[in-house]
Amino acid sequence: MENSGLFSLVPLIVFLPVLGLLTNIIFGQKLNEKAIGIIASTASGLVFVVSLLLGYGLLASGGHEQLVPLADWIQIGNLSIPWQFRVDTLSVTMMLVVSGVGTLIHIYAIGYMHEDVRFKNDTKRYARFFVFMNLFIAMMMILVSGDSYLMLFVGWEGVGLCSFLLIGFWYEMDTLARPSWANSNAAKKAFIANRIGDFGFLLAAFTMFWYFGSLQFGEVFASAEAIAASQPGVIMAITLFMLIGVTGKSAQIPLFVWLPDAMAGPTPVSALIHAATMVTAGVYLVARSWSLFNLVPEAQYIVALVGAFTALFSATIAVGQYDIKKVLAYSTISQLGFMVAAVGMGAYVACMFHLVVHAFFKALLFLSAGSVILGMERGHHHLPHHASGDGHSEEVFDPGDMRNMGGLRKQMPVTFWVYMIGALALAGIFPFAGFWSKDEILLDAARNHTLIYILLALAAFLTAFYMGRQIWMVFFGKARHEAADHAEESPKVITVPLMVLAGLSILGGALNLPYLENLGHWLEHSIEAVVEHGAEIQGYLAISWGGLNPVVALISTLVALVAIFLSWLLYGRRTLAKGEDDPLRKLLGPIYKVFENKYWVDEIYNAVFVNRFVDLAGFLAEKVDWDFWHDWLHDSVIARFFRWFTKFLANPIDLGIIDAISNGLANITQRSSNALRKVQNGFVRSYALSVLMGMVLILGYLLLK
Amino acid sequence: MEGTIPLTYYIIISAILFSMGALGVLIRRNALIIFMSIELMLNGANLAFVAFARNYHVITGQIFVFFVMTVAAAEVAVGLALIVAIFRSKNSIDVDQMSSLKG
Amino acid sequence: MDSMLIFFIVLALAAVASAVGLLVSRSAVYAALYLVINFASVAVFYLMLGAPFIALVQITVYAGAIMVLFLFVIMLLGAEKLPKGGSLPWQRPLAIGLSAVLFFEAGYLLLQKVQSSAVLLQPEAQINTMDAIRELGINLFSIYLLPFEVTSILLLVAMVGAIILTKQEKGAKE
């Protein structure tokens, strides 16, 4: 095939970022910041170009999947797991999203990290950031391009590692740059929660291998139906185990707790990993395994329920948060819930559509939030008392706290407008991108699963509400802290990617407009079971204006507008004054407290699970390692034995035997010399006798010879 | 004069004389007697030389005896001079009294 | 021939007896005289062995010169009888034993050579006295000239040595 040349480029998507990170590792300390950033962004950008080429190649060749083997990885007996790339429409979609948004975030990070390392006083760490970012891109590429569940898992673990490395980037401090365990604890939490999810994934992989005999996508999917017919429980078990992995990686109930804490990492990290790409890995997993999920509708329903509940649950928590990034974090969890609910309902195209546009506007929102934080920091640094140079040691100023902000649209206009666009897209207002994707999901839910529809609709209401709250609190009204008064707009290197993402957020809906269904047709080549339950629908739900159902669309738009109006009533009409508390507290009372404290989930987990392990670790460290091993075994037993042994060697053996031997030799010498001395008696006759004796002996020898 | 006395007899005599001379050297304490025993040993050796010379019809044995005698004479001269000198210092010719090399 | 053998045995007894006398005599003078008898019997042996020159030289040099010298020195030093009992009582038995061993060894060694090439004295070998002396002279001054000259130097050295050794320091003793 004349396009096979294009597909052989696919290993570059992994090796280009690796090349970038190696360059930055080796030369990082010698290059200036701009060079480091350019190298990393170029690597990521080239991956995007390669992905475009691969997409073009697929388009030109009819969209059939291409398998590009690279090397033999595991060969044990009958088991053969090669490192093989799978280029099909689903994986190319993911590649494009990850590398595209990733490149924009790399460029943004050049400017962001330049200021961040100066706020935290460690400019040497600049290169390390980009090394990790490139590593992440490489790992994510392995995840989405692998042709077997094991390759996917390699990338899965890799992005988990990068998440740990990047969340704990400022590992010795907390978000306010005070020395603390906070950041490293957050990184550990992310890693451990992901690990629990990985455990589920591994169980799924083991079960799959046991019954299918292979982990390659092609082979598994081919024999799925046969296995389902012969052993029905197996597929259910595999899919439910996979669901555990999904809850870990994509932050669903019950393993979502790491994502809010992960906001401790620098903002580009939050944008890239925890909004646009890594967290979508779980969704990708389910989408990839569509043929397995379609065989077990019960498991699908469970998945959908988990997603829907998570969406509503975290949306309620977002309403009570003060930190600008925490709101966005819970919003991410909520939107992931939408996506997981979508795949649970079999609406794979809707889910992927929402994944792509969510990447756009959530990255936009996070990056803009980063810009806002930087602006607050700049403003804080320009305050008069700060000019004396005491640093942040006395006052604890949190630049991300929305209670300190206000009226920023005057100081940071570009940031304000892009944030608005992102918020509107997230809220699902026509004609921004979010409207189309969310609407598709809601439509599928309304047609088939009423409970899920209700949950998702409530979540959508809350989404619009908390975004509106955020906008009023941050950009309108009067500044509640002097730093907000002095805030400055961010440089171009930061605002240009924001504007690009804003454009994508506006136009992204064009990816899959209801009539055209570009994405749907594109993905059809990879995902063959697109949900079409049209036959059973009745009533108003069956209306279709070229695919768009006006009733559902109208309801969701109304819901969003009401939510925004409510938020204006509470936060916009009379903006919050300095030190004034959130009016929602008076309205909801104790319920607000629950939201604010995130249902005390972390505390419950700590008390029930985590502290058991902490106790065990403490026990092992203190009692087993220190008391038993060190004190008793080493000191008492081994050390004493050695001392005894030394004394034993010294006294009886060294003195008794060796000295005795040397002394004895000397004694023998002395005594024999005493004896021999008597030969010299001075008498000539005896000397003559000895001469004669010698002569006799010699003659005797000669005789006897 | 010739004789049919076997060589063996002469050799035995020679050996007897030699051993007796050796015995004398070891037993006697008088320095002069010791010296005389040495002459006895030399004589025994000379006898053996001449007997062998006769036996193999070579003259070399006799020449050797010639020289032995000459040397014996010289040796006696010097040796007795030594004994005289020692007597002058020790006033005795008892070899057992010359034991200052005792160690 | 029997007569020769008897003669030989008598002579041998004389020699051995005089040697024994030398060993046991308490007086130095007696010992010297015993030695003279021994020399004389050995000289007769030489004659029997066809070495007349050697025999006469034996009597001239040994019995005549050396023993006289001995007697002079005995006279000079006083031939006192040494007291009995020596300092090394264990020496005597050991010495006797060793000498006996030496005798047997020496005899055996010497006789072995004879056995291997035993040539009895030919009866027809006449020994001309003058021939023996002539042969001795010729050999002495041709083949063995160097030892001859060296021996003369040796005698010179001995003379000088004897004089020096017995020289008294001036005024040390009279």
Asked if B63 and C136 come within 8 Å (Cβ–Cβ), the reply is yes
Q: Which residues in chain A are contacts of B99 at CB distance < 8 A?
A: 681-684
Question: How many CB pairs below 8 A link A and C?
Answer: 31
Asked if B101 and A692 come within 8 Å (Cβ–Cβ), the reply is no
Compute how many other C-beta atoms are within 10 angstroms of the C-beta atom of residue A36: 25
Q: What is the pLDDT of residue A158?
A: 92
Tens digits of per-residue pLDDT, A549-577? 777 888 888 888 898 888 888 887 777 77
Q: C36 at the B interface (CB within 8 A)?
A: no
Q: What is the pLDDT of residue B68?
A: 95
Q: Are C125 and B60 in contact (CB under 8 A)?
A: no
Give the Cα separation of A563 and A38 in Å (integer).
42
Quickly tell me which residue has 């992995």 as its tokens.
Answer: A245
**What secondary structure does DSSP assign to B1-32, as a single string?**
------HHHHHHHHHHHHHHHHHHHHH--BHH
Give the Cα separation of C34 and C15 in Å (integer).
9
Share of chain A above pLDDT 90, in %: 20
Give the Cα separation of A582 and A221 in Å (integer).
53
Give the Cα separation of A621 and B30 in Å (integer).
100
Asked if C19 and B55 come within 8 Å (Cβ–Cβ), the reply is no
Minimal CA separation from A694 to chain B, in Å: 13
Asked if A696 and C98 come within 8 Å (Cβ–Cβ), the reply is yes
Minimal CA separation from C14 to chain B, in Å: 11
**A534: confidence class by pLDDT, cuts 50, 70, 90:** very low
Minimal CA separation from A666 to chain C, in Å: 32
Nearest CB neighbour to A685, from listed C91, C105, C106: C91
- Token output for A167: 């969340």
Residues 63-92 in C contacting A (C-alpha not used; CB under 8 Å): 87-88, 91
Asked if C102 and A693 come within 8 Å (Cβ–Cβ), the reply is no
Task: State the average pLDDT over residues A423-444.
Answer: 85
From residue C116, alpha-carbon distances to A704, B7, B16, C106, C109 in Å are: 16, 13, 22, 16, 11
Task: State the average pLDDT over residues A452-459.
Answer: 90
Give the Cα separation of C112 and B8 in Å (integer).
10
Asked if B85 and C165 come within 8 Å (Cβ–Cβ), the reply is yes
Give the Cα separation of C41 and C51 in Å (integer).
14
- A207: CB partners within 8 A, 6+ apart: A234, A237, A238, A241
Nearest CB neighbour to A689, from listed B26, B96, B99: B26
Task: State the average pLDDT over residues A37-61.
Answer: 89
Asked if B11 and C136 come within 8 Å (Cβ–Cβ), the reply is no
**What secondary structure does DSSP assign to A13-63, as a single string?**
HHHHHHHHHHHHHHHTTTS-HHHHHHHHHHHHHHHHHHHHHHHHHHHHTTT
Residue A607 CB burial class (10 angstroms; 0-12, 13-18, ≥19):
exposed
Q: Which residues in chain C are contacts of B47 at CB distance < 8 A?
A: 42, 45-46
DSSP A573: S
Asked if A681 and B29 come within 8 Å (Cβ–Cβ), the reply is no
Q: What is the pLDDT of residue C122?
A: 47
- Token output for A698: 């010699």
Minimal CA separation from A692 to chain B, in Å: 8
CA angle A296, A283, A81 (to 5 degrees): 80
Nearest CB neighbour to A681, from listed B29, B95, B102: B102
Residues 7-66 in B contacting A (C-alpha not used; CB under 8 Å): 22, 25-26, 29
- Token output for C134: 């002539």
Give the Cα separation of A7 and A179 in Å (integer).
49
Nearest CB neighbour to A692, from listed B26, B29, B99: B26
Partners of residue A66 on adjacent β-strands: A87
Task: State the average pLDDT over residues A22-39.
Answer: 88
Residues 643-702 in A contacting C (C-alpha not used; CB under 8 Å): 681, 683, 685-686, 689, 692-693, 695-696, 699-700, 702
- Token output for C70: 């001995």
Chain B nearest-CA residue for A673: B103
Q: What is the pLDDT of residue A705?
A: 79
What SS3 state is found at C81?
A: coil
Give the Cα separation of A426 and A327 in Å (integer).
13
Q: B83 at the A interface (CB within 8 A)?
A: no
Amino acid at A365: L
Nearest CB neighbour to C73, from listed B62, B70, B80: B80
Asked if A692 and B102 come within 8 Å (Cβ–Cβ), the reply is no
Q: Which residues in chain B are contacts of A675 at CB distance < 8 A?
A: none
Q: Please tell me which of A237-246, A499-508, A614-623, B4-13 the model is most confident about, judged by mean pLDDT.
A: A237-246
Q: Which residues in chain A are contacts of C95 at CB distance < 8 A?
A: 689, 692
Compute how many other C-beta atoms are within 10 angstroms of the C-beta atom of residue C101: 17
Choice between A240 and A494, residue whose per-residue pLDDT is larger: A240
- C59: CB partners within 8 A, 6+ apart: C39, C40, C43
Minimal CA separation from A682 to chain B, in Å: 4
Asked if C120 and B6 come within 8 Å (Cβ–Cβ), the reply is yes
When the pLDDT of each residue in chain A is averaged and rounded to a whole number, the result is 84
Q: What is the pLDDT of residue A373?
A: 86
Asked if C91 and A686 come within 8 Å (Cβ–Cβ), the reply is yes
Residue (of A176, A142, A119, A159) closest to A73 by Cα position: A142
Task: State the average pLDDT over residues A587-596.
Answer: 80
Asked if B32 and C57 come within 8 Å (Cβ–Cβ), the reply is no
- Of the residues B14, B25, B32, the best mutation for testing chain C's interface (the one with the most C CB atoms within 10 Å of its CB) is B32
Q: Say whether pLDDT at A4 is over 90.
A: no
Chain A nearest-CA residue for C95: A689
Q: What is the pLDDT of residue A515?
A: 63
Choice between B92 and A102, residue whose per-residue pLDDT is larger: A102
Chains that touch B (3 or more CB pairs under 8 A): A, C
Nearest CB neighbour to B83, from listed C12, C73, C98: C73
Asked if C38 and B47 come within 8 Å (Cβ–Cβ), the reply is no
Q: Which residues of chain C have pLDDT under 50?
A: 118, 120-124, 174
Q: What is the pLDDT of residue A544?
A: 64
Q: What is the pLDDT of residue C79?
A: 64
From residue A393, alpha-carbon distances to A120, A265, A397 in Å are: 12, 21, 10
Give the DSSP H/E element, type plus range, for residue A498: helix A492-507
In degrees and rounded to multiples of 5, residue A246 shows phi and psi of -65, -40
Task: State the average pLDDT over residues A438-463.
Answer: 87
Q: C31 at the B interface (CB within 8 A)?
A: yes
Give the Cα separation of B93 and B86 in Å (integer).
8
Amino acid at A58: L
Q: Are A364 and A505 in contact (CB under 8 A)?
A: yes
Q: Say whether pLDDT at A535 is over 50.
A: no
Chain A nearest-CA residue for B28: A685
Residue A618 CB burial class (10 angstroms; 0-12, 13-18, ≥19):
exposed
Minimal CA separation from C39 to chain A, in Å: 24
Q: What is the pLDDT of residue C13?
A: 95
Share of chain A above pLDDT 70, in %: 93
HSE-up of residue A530 (Cα within 13 Å, Cβ side): 16
Q: Which residues in chain C are contacts of B50 at CB distance < 8 A?
A: 45-46, 49, 51, 54
In degrees and rounded to multiples of 5, residue A257 shows phi and psi of -60, -15
Minimal CA separation from B3 to chain A, in Å: 30
Amino acid at B24: G
Q: Are A190 and A167 in contact (CB under 8 A)?
A: yes
Give the Cα separation of A443 and A449 in Å (integer).
10
Q: Which residues in chain C are contacts of A684 at CB distance < 8 A?
A: none
Q: B89 at the A interface (CB within 8 A)?
A: no
Q: Are A173 and A121 in contact (CB under 8 A)?
A: no
- Of the residues C34, C60, C66, the best mutation for testing chain B's interface (the one with the most B CB atoms within 10 Å of its CB) is C66
DSSP A609: I
Amino acid at A378: R
Q: Are A167 and A186 in contact (CB under 8 A)?
A: yes
Give the Cα separation of A149 and A155 in Å (integer).
10
Measured between its terminal Cα atoms, the distance across chain C in Å is: 62
Q: Are A283 and A183 in contact (CB under 8 A)?
A: no
Nearest CB neighbour to B99, from listed A677, A683, A689: A683
From residue C115, alpha-carbon distances to A334, A705, B57, B81 in Å are: 131, 17, 17, 44
What SS3 state is found at A679?
A: coil
Task: State the average pLDDT over residues A17-40.
Answer: 89
Q: What is the pLDDT of residue C139?
A: 87
Task: State the average pLDDT over residues A45-49.
Answer: 93
Residue B57 region by backbone torsions, left for phi larger than 0, else alpha for psi between -120 and 50, else beta: left
Q: Are A90 and A352 in contact (CB under 8 A)?
A: yes
Measured between its terminal Cα atoms, the distance across chain A in Å is: 103
Choice between A182 and B40, residue whose per-residue pLDDT is larger: B40
Q: What is the longest distance spanned by two Cα atoms in chain A?
A: 151
Tens digits of per-residue pLDDT, A645-666? 888 888 877 877 888 888 889 9
Task: State the average pLDDT over residues A281-308.
Answer: 88
Q: Are A454 and A377 in contact (CB under 8 A)?
A: no
